[in-house]
A and B are shown apart, each in its own frame.
Chain A
Amino acid sequence: MLTVLVRRLLNVVPTLVAVIALVFLLFSVLPGSFISGMNEDGRGLVDPAVMERMRKEMGLDDPLHERFAKYIAKTFVGDFGVSFRTREPVTKLIGDRLWPSLKLVLASMLFAIVIGVPLGFIAALKPGSVTDTTSMVVAISGLSLPKFWLGLMLMYLFALQLKILPSFGYGDGGLTHLTLPAIALGVSPMALLARTTRAAVLEVLNADFVRTARSKGMSEPRVVTWHVMRNALVLVITTIGLQFGSLMGQAVVVEKLFAWPGVGSLLVDSVFQRDIPAVQGCILLIVLFFLAINTLIDLAYVTIDPRIRYA
């Protein structure tokens, strides 16, 4: 377990450094360099004095490699700089948004797993049946829906017409405010999980050891619970990890639509306000979340699949 964790973390570090470098370079080197380009695209004028202060604060006049080294060093100790807009440390800014974001992502993933996995399972047990066809039509439709449009339609139906749920905002952070954004965000991972689960279960059902199980005189429900479920789970869990990990990034549009105070809406607002440190911080956090989730998934593998433990 520990060696897997260590090995995995060693794999993550280069990716992390590369992401930090990329985020740094994107906003420091590319033409326009974000600040000097500020007055050119007509998105609001900035006082030259403010610009001068920003340049100085960011050390934009120092040589690139020095700035880069400094940025890396600061980032690794968790210092993402100070927000241009609020003058607060970016870590605090993000910290305030982290819990709402996590709540939304967890709720969506829960929705996706609770609906998607059983749907795929039921579909696979009777391939070609009406249930199967229906679930797969639902799944491919779910994959084709724009999240924000689905959110908009849910909002219209449940908040504005039926008036049973609030249309937007965080409120007290309770379930009533969480439901619509979580569904809007969760439908596409749900659809993908349904498809992956179906394929995984079908693959396992065709495996030789399932034939062995049947030759032992096992009833079909027992074959499924004793021999199919775990093996199918191993195949599904990668998809769960990849979806879960990227959900915080995918949440951007949904958070923006529902005015949910998460990292995603902070990112979009910061882009419009040209708050570079905040933008960089949000992106780094979203990537960090992806890497963290997938590390956890790797560890989950170790407990589920004995072949990896000894490999």
Chain B
Amino acid sequence: MTDSPLLAVDNLRIDIGGGKERHAAVEDVSFSIARGETFGLVGESGCGKSITALSIMGLLRHPLSLGSGSSIVLDGQPIHNASAAEMRSLRGRRIGMIFQEPMTALNPLSPVGRQIAEMFVLHMGMGWKEATERAVDSLRQVRVPSPERRVHDYPHQLSGGMRQRVMIAIALACSPDMLIADEPTTALDVTVQAEIVDLMRDLCAEKGTAILMISHDLGLVAQVCRRVAVMYAGRIVEQRASAEVFKDPRHPYTRGLLASLPRLGARSQHGRQRLNEISGVVPAVSAFPRGCRFNPRCGARTDICTIEDPQTTPLDGGQGLVRCHHA
């Protein structure tokens, strides 16, 4: 990568609450995404991956706030301190976003065509008539059958998969540089999941749009993304090319996630053992343990893990990193 990256997140911290009650929900998170690249953020719910996405969109709302020292740079331009108006012009036009629950993410009282058309009205200065015509094209692009009829439908008249297609149409309407997809298939039927993932990948490849995909499903992310960052308790614990992660996971948490994936011909005995390793729950933000944050659930824990916070160790010739005393 000789070009400057499309998105560079550096030393990101997200605070929850304020004053004495302030805690860092996300801390020391850095990653970058190149133009057209696909990058995944993986972790259990509550690990901070969704609010990381919201911070890039500038959509953190009380009680969440961006910590000082955090830097988010989009295409060479710092956006962590951008004004509300500047962020507005970026959102939708340069970064699109898809949410998990397509039923509630769409306004139930507005026809889906209008909800797509809004993008053209907002960012391309079109009138409603022209924008609605463009919305039909958008629906066709996301492979919604008979789009001329469907533009007038309300969300409740569409299936979950169709609704998520509408969300994709909205997010990609202005051909943004980047698409953030927060658990885009979690709420869908398994059979529909693959279609949606394929659609997203094809369209983004066509438009040269980079993808930041957020999911709890390491398998899905590895399938879509070239590179993966695994988050645990507000920090990135391992960040590498997807292929390397599968071949040789270095962090015990990553190994646990991998082992919990249903795989054909898996080393069952090994697998069961690793599932045990990952018992317990993600600690609350206000009660992160001392030392390595994973230590209470870690099977490879030693004394140092409960005392000292591990630093990152470079891997794969500087292309990857891991945060573990024993990696």
Contacts and interface: CB of A to CB of B under 8 A. Distances in A.
Interface of A: 207-209, 211-219, 222, 226-227, 230-231, 234, 304-307, 310
Contacts of B110: 226-227, 230
Name B's interface SS.
mixed
Contacts of A215: 57, 59, 91-92, 96-97, 99, 171
Contacts of A214: 59, 91
A208 B187 CA distance: 14
B227 interface: no
Contact of B109 (A216, A218, A222, A305): A305
B89 A217 contact: yes
Q: Could you say which of A211, A212, A227 has the most chain B C-beta atoms within 10 Å of its C-beta?
A: A212
Contact of A209 (B90, B97, B105, B122): B105
Nearest to B92: A217
A213 B118 CA distance: 9
A138 to B, nearest CB: 25
Nearest to A310: B157
Contacts, number: 74
Nearest to B85: A219
A218 B108 contact: no
A306 B115 CA distance: 15
Place the interface of chain B in its size category.
20 to 34
Interface of B: 57, 59, 88-93, 96-97, 99, 101, 104-110, 118-119, 122-123, 154, 156-157, 167, 170-171
Contacts of A208: 99, 101, 104-105
A212 B91 contact: no
Contact of B170 (A216, A305, A307): A216
Contact of B108 (A211, A226, A231): A231
Nearest to B119: A216
A100 B229 CA distance: 72
24 contacts: A207-B104, A208-B101, A208-B104, A209-B105, A211-B99, A213-B107, A214-B59, A215-B99, A216-B91, A217-B88, A217-B90, A217-B123, A218-B88, A218-B122, A219-B88, A226-B118, A227-B110, A231-B107, A234-B109, A304-B109, A305-B108, A305-B109, A307-B156, A310-B157
